[in-house]
Each structure stands twice: as C-alpha cells, then as structure tokens.
Amino acid sequence: MPSKTISIALLVADTPPEPVVAKRGDYLTIYPDFLQRALAAVPRHAWQDKVELHIRPFDVVHKREFPDEGQLADGLWDAVIVTGSASSAYLDLEWTTGLASWLRSLAENHPLVRIIGICYGHQIIARAFDGEVKLNEKGFEIGVYDVELTPEGQEYLGYAEREQHMHIHQVHRDIVPELPPAFNGTDFLNIGSTARCEVQGLALPYPTDAPPLPSTAGGSAYIAFDVTGEATDSSGPAPARSLQVLTVQGHPEFDEEIVTTLIDARSEMGAISGPDRDEGLRRAPLPHDGKRIGAVILSMLGVEPKRTDEGTQADGGVGV
C-alpha cells in the first residue's frame, strides 16, 4: 500500500515536572504519542494511502531552534505545533519574543504551513498576531471543562449541531481575553468559551477552501485552489482543512494520569492552592475529547475518516 508522510515540527516550549516525565515522558514523547493514538483511531478506506507522521522536536527555549528556511520554502514541513509551557506568553523574555516573531514570519512568508497551538501555544500564537495575553483574574482552570462551542467552533472542529460542548483538559491561568486583529484581511474566529475563559481557541481560515499541504504543493507559498484527492487521499475535505491556524486553550494531549500528577507536583511547588487542587482532582477523571481533537488536528493536515456513499462519516469514527 502506498504511503504519505506528513511532516510536523514540534516547537517544544517547556519540559513537564519530573514526576510527569518519570511516568509518561517529556513533551517529545507525550505529543507524538497523542497524535499517533489519534491517527490509529481514524477509520480509513482500504484504498486510501497509509499515513505516516514525521514529528521532529525543536527546542525553542534553550537552543532557539526552528525549522530551516530553505526546508520550509521547499515544502518539507507541513505544520508546526507549539506545545504547552509553565511560562507566560506575555513575558518579554528573549526566547518568548523570538518565538512570537518567528511564528508571525512563518504565517506571512510560508502561508501553506499550518500553525497549531496548545495552551501556551494558543497564547503565544495570539501574541504573534498582535493579540493580548494576561493573567486571568477569575483564577485557574484545571481538569476537564465543558467548552461551549461557537457555531464556527462546531463547524471547524466537526461537532454536530446538537453537540454544543467540547470536553477538554485544562491546566492554565493565563488567557487570551479577546480575539487578535484580522490577519491579511481575514478575521480570527473564537471556537468556544467557558465561564472563566472567553476565548478557548482560535481559528484562522484561508481565503479559499482547502489549499494543499506544502509537501503536496512542493513549496510553502499560498496556492488558492483545492486538490482534494491528491492532497489528502481522503473522501473529501473536512472544514478544518481550510484553516491556516488552529489553537486550543486546553490540553487534548493530557489525560487523567498526567493531570493528577501535574496537580500534585505543582501543589508541592506552591503554584496551586488547596481549593484549586481539590477542584482539579475532582475534574481530572471526567470524560474528555482529547483523541477526537487530535483527529481534528490530523484532518487539518488531510487525514480524514472514511465516509459513506452519502458523504457522512462511517461508523467507527474517533471516540473520546
């Protein structure tokens, strides 16, 4: 069976506390495992190409590593994912400002490269596009929260009209309080909100539907047409394929074990107080949509579930 490789640059912005690393590894393990589990859960037709993920980490904090400009221009990187971090995206640290500047340059000069951010990644991407990031006066969100989806969030994340909430792990107090300004004439969209956090994720659509990935186009310059079959080897483009940028404030890559271990570790450091700890431990075991959100990220990169003759997703879709 022929295969298609999707290349993802993982911009690593932190290392989890040692107890998490001891149990589950660092982000160089957690994020690839998350994406591989999501990939394995996506039902595919026998005739669709096998998909392989090439995920390479870049240390953007200590080594200031980024994908090579020549490789980006040649279409060798399809996406970048910015990880979570215990740091704050509003700080004027050299690596923080450098990361924000690089992300903005990436969007301007290599627009076919998809940009994805998780938690801190969501916040630093907002900053890169001149958005605000600040400490949330309403306090922490820790554990699984129900995010009330906007109509745009339902559309681009593939939630049915009756599915009004996305369930996702949270570990944060910093927030993006409002949408960044428009980029190249296109407005950012808010995917959803909670009582404590109004902007739970950002979506930035392309001017036209489903442009190809850089690896398909042979470059990273914008191409305003859809090459559905050859680009995705799928049954048709999902709405997420039309996004240049997708971020979530929550942590789809986390599960109960990771979150409870984080809570214990940060409580010992004094970073999380008793009431916040108790609330987080209560919420940590709740069902969440992590694997489903992982599948949305993959659909943004052309990996879509098989569909029936009527065009709907076949049985056996990605569960939570």
Q: Using 50, 70 and 90 to split pLDDT, how confident is the model at 114? A: very high
Q: Look-up: residue for tokens 């107890």?
A: 19
Least confident interval from 72-76, 123-127, 150-154, 226-230? 226-230
More confident residue, 232 or 213: 213
Mean pLDDT score of the chain, rounded to an integer? 92
Q: Answer whether 319's CB lies under 8 Å from 288's CB.
A: no
Q: Using 50, 70 and 90 to split pLDDT, how confident is the model at 236? A: low
Instruction: Look up the pTM and report it.
Output: 0.93
User: What is residue 245's DSSP assignment?
Assistant: E
Q: Answer whether 58's CB lies under 8 Å from 46's CB.
A: no
Nearest by Cα to 108 from 226, 221, 19, 217? 221
In this prediction, residue 269 carries a pLDDT of 92
Share of the chain above pLDDT 90, in %: 83
Q: Using 50, 70 and 90 to split pLDDT, how confident is the model at 226? A: very low
What's the mean pLDDT in 168-187?
98
Q: Answer whether 288's CB lies under 8 Å from 144's CB.
A: yes
Q: Answer whether 210's CB lies under 8 Å from 226's CB.
A: yes
Q: Look-up: residue for tokens 């989890």?
A: 16
Q: Answer whether 53's CB lies under 8 Å from 8's CB.
A: yes
Give the DSSP letter string of 62-76: SS-----HHHHHTT-
In this prediction, residue 235 carries a pLDDT of 42
Q: Using 50, 70 and 90 to split pLDDT, how confident is the model at 47? A: confident
Is it the case that residue 223 has pLDDT exceeding 80? Answer: no
Q: Using 50, 70 and 90 to split pLDDT, how confident is the model at 224? A: low
- Rounded distance between C-alpha atoms, residue 180 and residue 206, angstroms: 16
Handedness of CA 259, 287, 34, 195 (dihedral sign): negative
Is it the case that residue 285 has pLDDT exceeding 80? Answer: yes
In this prediction, residue 314 carries a pLDDT of 47
Give me the residue spans of the domains in the chain. 3-136+176-250+288-300
Judging by beta carbons within 10 Å of its beta carbon (0-12, 13-18, 19+), is residue 248 exposed, middle or buried?
A: buried
Is it the case that residue 88 has pLDDT exceeding 50? Answer: yes
What's the mean pLDDT in 15-38?
98
What's the mean pLDDT in 118-143?
99
Run of H or E including 300: helix 290-300
Could you tell me the two tokens for 272? Answer: 């999380």
Q: In this structure, which CATH number among 3.40.50, 1.10.760, 1.10.3470, 3.30.70 belongs to the domain 3-136+176-250+288-300?
A: 3.40.50
In this prediction, residue 228 carries a pLDDT of 43
In this prediction, residue 3 carries a pLDDT of 86
Q: Answer whether 268's CB lies under 8 Å from 197's CB.
A: no
For 198-208, the pLDDT digits (tens) are 999 999 999 98
In this prediction, residue 229 carries a pLDDT of 41
